[in-house]
């Protein structure tokens, strides 16, 4: 007689006691919107990675579900990311952008001088902050180069 093997019952995801490991802005990383592992909402720009000691892997949630699954939800990380994303989204369109004598867009921003210029098939950017200079290249549009400059500058300031 064959013994029927019983599959272990899938354990249920804990409903509390999670901690936020990381908050990520998917749009800034060029990633598609994320899906919440708790409620299934699938248009998340800012995802929370949650860990639980009794669960083998991290789960992805939006802010509301992160608040429900954690005990002391700290809004600071998401808030900082939202503010940074807002500044980043606005950066390419700031009215302070000027055009240099060579015809390249440039701006003074948070103590740095940012310049965008054509390079090979696309565009490059240079961020000069005190004695520090960062170059990034390979961007299809001026806007992409400006966004990359913003990210480079934030890295330099941190
Ligand atoms: Zn959710």
From first to last of its 158 residues, the chain has per-residue pLDDT tens of: 555 555 555 578 899 999 999 999 999 888 999 999 999 999 999 999 999 999 999 999 999 999 999 998 999 999 999 999 999 999 999 999 999 999 999 999 999 999 999 999 999 999 999 999 999 999 999 999 999 999 999 989 98
Q: Are residues 85 and 100 in the same domain?
A: no
- In the numeric block, which tokens belong to residue 148? 């990359």
Q: Are residues 103 and 136 in the same domain?
A: yes
Q: Is residue 67 part of a domain?
A: yes
Q: Are residues 80 and 102 in the same domain?
A: no
Q: Is residue 8 part of a domain?
A: no
Q: Is residue 4 part of a domain?
A: no
Q: Is residue 78 part of a domain?
A: yes
- Name the domain boundary from 90, 117, 138: 90
Q: Are residues 130 and 107 in the same domain?
A: yes
- Name the domain boundary from 90, 121, 146: 90
Q: Are residues 77 and 110 in the same domain?
A: no
Tell me the CA–centroid distance for residue 41 and ligand 1, in Å: 6
Q: For residue 106, what are the domain limits? A: 94-157
- In the numeric block, which tokens belong to residue 31? 């990633």
Q: Are residues 50 and 111 in the same domain?
A: no
Q: Is residue 1 part of a domain?
A: no
Tell me the CA–centroid distance for residue 61 and ligand 1, in Å: 5
- In the numeric block, which tokens belong to residue 136? 């990034």
Q: What is the pLDDT of residue 6?
A: 58
Q: Which residue spans within 12-155 are E strands per DSSP?
A: 19-25, 46-51, 59-61, 98-99, 105-109, 112-119, 122-129, 132-139
Cβ neighbours around 118 below 10 Å, total: 13
- Picking from 19, 133, 112, the residue whose alpha carbon sits closest to that of residue 69 is 19
Q: What is the pLDDT of residue 8?
A: 55
Tell me the CA–centroid distance for residue 47 and ligand 1, in Å: 10
* The pTM of the whole model exceeds 0.85: no
Cβ neighbours around 63 below 10 Å, total: 19
Tell me the CA–centroid distance for residue 65 and ligand 1, in Å: 4
Which residues 6+ apart lie within 8 Å of 125 measured at CB? 114, 115, 116, 117, 135, 136, 137, 139, 145, 146, 148, 149, 152
- In the numeric block, which tokens belong to residue 51? 């860990």
Q: Are residues 116 and 144 in the same domain?
A: yes
Q: Who surrounds ion ligand 1 at CB < 5 A?
A: 36, 38-39, 41, 62, 65
């Amino acid at each position: 007689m064959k013994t029927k093997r019983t599959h272990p019952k899938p354990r249920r995801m804990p409903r509390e006691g999670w901690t936020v490991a990381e908050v990520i802005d998917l749009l800034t990383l060029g990633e598609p919107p994320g899906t919440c592992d708790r409620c299934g909402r699938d248009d998340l720009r800012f995802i929370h990675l949650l860990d639980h000691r009794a669960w083998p892997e991290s789960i992805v949630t939006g802010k509301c579900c992160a608040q429900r699954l954690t005990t002391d939800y700290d809004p600071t990380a998401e808030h900082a990311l939202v503010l940074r994303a807002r500044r980043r989204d606005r950066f390419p369109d700031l009215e302070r952008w000027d055009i240099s004598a060579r015809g390249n867009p440039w701006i003074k921003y948070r103590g740095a001088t940012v310049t965008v210029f054509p390079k090979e098939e696309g565009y490059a950017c240079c961020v000069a902050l005190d004695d520090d200079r960062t170059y990034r290249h390979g961007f299809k549009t001026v806007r992409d180069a400006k966004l990359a400059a913003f990210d480079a500058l934030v890295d330099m300031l941190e």
